[in-house]
Structure 1
Amino acid sequence: MPTLNETPSANRLHIAIYGRRNAGKSSLINALTGQPVALVSDVPGTTTDPVRKAMEIRGLGACLLIDTAGFDDDGDLGAMRVQKTEETIPKVDIALLLCAGDDLTLEKEWSRKLRERGIRQITVVSKADERDAQTLAQRITQELGSEPLIVSAKTGDGIPALLTALARAIPEGYGAPSILGGLAGPGDTVLLVMPQDKEAPKGRLILPQVQTIRELLDTGCISINATPDTLENALAVLREPPALIITDSQVFREVYEKTPKGVKLTSFSVLFAAHKGDLSAFVEGARAVDRLTDSSRVLIAEACTHAPLTEDIGRVKIPALLRKKYGAGLQVDIVSGTAFPENLDAYDLIVHCGGCMFNRTYLLSRVRQAQSAGVPITNYGVLIAKLKGILDDVALPSV
């Protein structure tokens, strides 16, 4: 099982705790982790914005615990806090729904919201040391349709059972698919082409490159690194052609033209299209690009937030490619981080980044949202391969 230091936040099991103010959410997080990681107070509304804590929990592995504001918060500021709590739902793998009082109206509403999103939920009678927990549990079973666990964070009663329930709630085969997706195996030589231009972080590699290199090492592959300028030299020093070339999508066509016959070629972004998202949907979305016109509207979504650069792939290069091919009047909207429109009806295409900063649950929720709206969705690497005329020649990972 990977250690916490080996697991990026986006690859951890996301567990959120929902409930009213002062329902014991923060206390429960502390009890689950065995550490005072969340601020506990008798004052309702102590937790405002969602608080995330990365932890290694025995039996669960690397987790990201999300402590949320009470969904009964009131007033203008309270409504904003509840909205922030609701925004966590698409990112959650497992939800703990705490019930701490006789009125279950809001609990029923939030249980429905979680079910509609397909989120696995565990209902909990919290603060069992302060009330008639058995009577409340019976009411929860009748009104919410689920038998709750009875837990006291103060005494520790029920915590082992809750940890067991969490472990059982992890979906079978949980976790993102392999990054390589069967494109390379033990003993294979893999050549990585990584431009080191002004977009590349000085002194380090970007996360998809780091994660791919790590998987290559874990798989037993021989990893060779090059830039576009040194690609031909790298190929020349190899006694045999590599089994696979993985390139930055921005130089897809350039690398394609230098790739030896019979060598598989893909990109980091294409790999992450399968690793974090829905590759079939992204390929289908890329093929729909031919329906764009000068009056089309495209949404570009980036998972990370950063200061725009002059050569930025999402903000500059992809819009330029689209306008060159389909007309200067084509409108492009750009969102970053967790910003994403609720209504997608105005768009003819959505282009998403690789999503290395998101967990797979969150990225797939965006894919489903686009599909529900009938809007094609693709990702940076798949779209660039299509626009460069090489999508049919690109090696696609299996999922």
Structure 2
Amino acid sequence: MQKSTLNDTPLASRLHIAIFGRRNAGKSSLINAITNQDIALVSSVAGTTTDPVFKAMELLPIGPVVIIDTAGIDDEGELGELRIKKTYQVLNKTDLAVLIIDGGMGVTGYDLEILERIREKNIPVVGVINKSDVAGYTPEEKETWEKRLGLKLVEVSALKRQGIEELKREIINKAPSSFAERPLIGDLIAPGDFVVLVVPIDKAAPKGRLILPQQQTIRDVLDHGAIAVVTKETELKETLKNLAKKPRIVVTDSQAFARVAQDTPRDIPMTSFSILFARYKGDLAQLVEGVKAIKNLKPGDRVLIAEACTHHRQKDDIGTVKIPRWLTQILGFDLDYTWTSGFGFPENLDEIKLVIHCGGCMINTKEMMYRLSLLKQKGIPVVNYGVFIAYATGILERALEPIPEAASLLSPES
């Protein structure tokens, strides 16, 4: 299979490497050394990095990665506490952690605390001693630090860019071997297949471009030697009529489910971009299981509608208008809604009875799986947009049929 390159890999699909350490340990300098660019602000003033900074690059032979610079884990004051909180939140999207030890300070309680949190989340970690050219520590001290951490430490000088190639090799060795191996659509099609992609162009559609799930699905179809046929829902009937052979599958935007299901012959498999993303980045079984909780909701129950991106709300917005309207039609009463958007996710979920999450195209698999595992731990059911809309329009079973592992997810009562 051809390796992805920086130009064709969306941010959320790249390996996320986060750099952690105390203030002035040299995190920003290390990022500049790894990327061979001056992209991170470097200063002798402690606490220069205040918010996580994301840099996309290519690290061969891994391929496209995102390197994340974080605030110091020993920051101080009220603002410092907020910065530390953001640093810890980065762990939820981290695929591989790099822990920097200041060679002049040695291992501190702050280093041990962040390392414990990294290991609690089963994140592979690379240890680094920075300032190896000026710190003046002894081999015995280095050995003691390694024993305290239970971690091999690579010696580098970020300022002089020494030891960087060895560090890169260690990062490559520790990178998760199974990263990005989840299928999107390639395992459902064969070379030469026709794949019809239904892309509504309405007020909510971005001007002059397609949304990310549509782009990624088209690319995956092409990468697997199949033929992508893109049409609007209003032209689907005519498109199917004029194809030289029956398409292998029809994939639609979930909001057009009802019309697409009506216009697609029953012998042609059909699903949605959002359902494909449910297994690509999340846990399809958990999301389908969440459907069963809908009928158990009671008037006034609180429902969280979570989106991983921020966008301009349209008049008939899916998250704030359409989904609440569907739920009212299904249940016959009103619920109490709360909304969240962007990279943040609420910590207080105590009163939430159901979460309806977007497809998650703007966050990586690590972040999506963190959110799902958090909800599972708290016993809060969750569905995503595609699964919910298929359920609301009465075609969930049909929408899951093209995915082999989904065959047993629905029980008769669902």
* TM-score, with structure 1 as normaliser: 0.96
For residues 398 and 16 of structure 1, the distance between their equivalents in structure 2, rounded to whole angstroms, comes to: 35
- Indicate if the aligned counterparts of 1:15 and 1:93 stay in contact, CA closer than 8 A: yes
Q: Do the aligned partners of residues 396 and 262 (structure 1) sit closer, same or farther apart at CA in structure 2, a change above 3 Å counting?
A: closer
Give 1:87's aligned amino acid: Q
Structure 2 counterpart of 1:267, from 260, 272, 296: 272
Match of 2:245 in 1: 240
**Match runs of 1:33-112 below 5 Å:** 33-100=35-102, 101-112=105-116
For residues 327 and 126 of structure 1, the distance between their equivalents in structure 2, rounded to whole angstroms, comes to: 62
For residues 286 and 123 of structure 1, the distance between their equivalents in structure 2, rounded to whole angstroms, comes to: 43
Q: Percent identity?
A: 46
1:118-167 CA distances to partner (integer Å, 9 max, x unpaired)? Answer: 22111211111122153442222222222222222234333222111111
1:19 partnered with 2:24: no
Structure 1 counterpart of 2:124, from 107, 120, 124: 120
Give 1:305's aligned amino acid: T
- Indicate if the aligned counterparts of 2:16 and 2:66 stay in contact, CA closer than 8 A: yes
Match of 1:397 in 2: 403
1:288 partnered with 2:293: yes
Give 1:233's aligned amino acid: E
- Number of residue pairs aligned between Structure 1 and Structure 2: 399
Structure 2 counterpart of 1:187, from 189, 192, 212: 192
- Indicate if the aligned counterparts of 2:107 and 2:145 stay in contact, CA closer than 8 A: no
- Indicate if the aligned counterparts of 2:186 and 2:221 stay in contact, CA closer than 8 A: no
- Indicate if the aligned counterparts of 2:75 and 2:83 stay in contact, CA closer than 8 A: yes
Q: 1:175: Cα distance to partner?
A: 1.0
For residues 107 and 164 of structure 2, the distance between their equivalents in structure 1, rounded to whole angstroms, comes to: 24
For residues 141 and 322 of structure 2, the distance between their equivalents in structure 1, rounded to whole angstroms, comes to: 58
For residues 389 and 78 of structure 1, the distance between their equivalents in structure 2, rounded to whole angstroms, comes to: 50
- Indicate if the aligned counterparts of 2:106 and 2:145 stay in contact, CA closer than 8 A: no
- Indicate if the aligned counterparts of 1:180 and 1:397 stay in contact, CA closer than 8 A: no
Q: 1:181: Cα distance to partner?
A: 5.2
Q: Do the aligned partners of residues 158 and 396 (structure 1) sit closer, same or farther apart at CA in structure 2, a change above 3 Å counting?
A: farther
1:9 partnered with 2:11: yes
1:260-319 CA distances to partner (integer Å, 9 max, x unpaired)? Answer: 132110001001111111111111112332222223221111011012111211221111
Q: Do the aligned partners of residues 345 and 176 (structure 1) sit closer, same or farther apart at CA in structure 2, a change above 3 Å counting?
A: farther
1:324-346 CA distances to partner (integer Å, 9 max, x unpaired)? Answer: 21243211111000231113221
Match of 1:130 in 2: 134
RMSD of the TM alignment (CA)?
A: 1.6
Q: Secondary structure at the match of 2:339?
A: strand
Q: Do the aligned partners of residues 48 and 241 (structure 1) sit closer, same or farther apart at CA in structure 2, a change above 3 Å counting?
A: same
For residues 186 and 402 of structure 2, the distance between their equivalents in structure 1, rounded to whole angstroms, comes to: 8
- Indicate if the aligned counterparts of 1:90 and 1:361 stay in contact, CA closer than 8 A: yes
- Indicate if the aligned counterparts of 1:271 and 1:396 stay in contact, CA closer than 8 A: no
For residues 293 and 182 of structure 2, the distance between their equivalents in structure 1, rounded to whole angstroms, comes to: 25
Give 1:6's aligned amino acid: D
For residues 281 and 150 of structure 1, the distance between their equivalents in structure 2, rounded to whole angstroms, comes to: 43
Q: Do the aligned partners of residues 332 and 133 (structure 1) sit closer, same or farther apart at CA in structure 2, a change above 3 Å counting?
A: farther
Structure 1 counterpart of 2:341, from 331, 336, 343: 336
Q: 1:245: Cα distance to partner?
A: 0.4
Q: 1:58: Cα distance to partner?
A: 2.5
- Indicate if the aligned counterparts of 1:133 and 1:150 stay in contact, CA closer than 8 A: no
5+ residue gaps in structure 1?
Answer: none
1:174 partnered with 2:198: no
Q: Do the aligned partners of residues 154 and 31 (structure 1) sit closer, same or farther apart at CA in structure 2, a change above 3 Å counting?
A: same
Structure 1 counterpart of 2:225, from 220, 226, 245: 220
1:191-245 CA distances to partner (integer Å, 9 max, x unpaired)? Answer: 1111111001122111111111111111111111221111111111123321100
Q: 1:75: Cα distance to partner?
A: 1.3
For residues 66 and 187 of structure 2, the distance between their equivalents in structure 1, rounded to whole angstroms, comes to: 28
Q: 1:396: Cα distance to partner?
A: 4.6
- Indicate if the aligned counterparts of 1:126 and 1:153 stay in contact, CA closer than 8 A: yes
For residues 108 and 131 of structure 2, the distance between their equivalents in structure 1, rounded to whole angstroms, comes to: 15
5+ residue gaps in structure 2?
Answer: 406-414
1:363 partnered with 2:368: yes
Which structure 1 residue ranges, 4+ long, deviate > 4 Å from structure 2?
none
Q: Secondary structure at the match of 2:188?
A: coil
Q: Do the aligned partners of residues 39 and 382 (structure 1) sit closer, same or farther apart at CA in structure 2, a change above 3 Å counting?
A: same
Q: Do the aligned partners of residues 398 and 367 (structure 1) sit closer, same or farther apart at CA in structure 2, a change above 3 Å counting?
A: farther
